Amino acid sequence: MTFEEAIKLINTKYPTSQRTTDLVEIKVNKLLDVNHYYYIALHNMNNTLILTDIAESSDILYDISEDRWKELCVKHNIEFNDWHLECEFKSLKDLDNFIALLDEVANVE
């Protein structure tokens, strides 16, 4: 799947905002509230599509221990690399897993 095809697929469920030619912010309203600002991005990294957190949310990651993050990431099939969340995007299921992880952390209904 190309970067453009992935954006079209994501846009069927969530609005996106182009930040750079290779980075698109995915807006998941339930993860953006007064107490939590979890931003998700689709990054085109040498034609590999990666879902990741954006810098604005990285400070929030420190509210939970590293061991707890690793445990949650394993549960949701997400990688935890140097305080960043990442997974390869191949389908909307990957995005759903990423959102489920952040949803669980934020206790958002």
State whether residue 50 is helix, strand or coil: strand
Is residue 16 within 8 Å of residue 7, measured between CB atoms?
yes
The pLDDT tens digits of the residues spanning 27-44 come to 888 777 666 667 789 999
Is residue 45 within 8 Å of residue 22, measured between CB atoms?
yes
Residue 108: predicted pLDDT: 44
Does the pLDDT at position 89 exceed 50?
Answer: yes
The pLDDT tens digits of the residues spanning 37-79 come to 677 899 999 999 999 987 555 555 556 788 888 898 999 999 9
Percent of the chain with pLDDT over 70: 83
Measured CA to CA, the distance from residue 1 to residue 31 in angstroms comes to: 26
| DSSP at 89 | -
**Which domains, and CATH codes, for the chain?**
3-106 (3.30.1460)
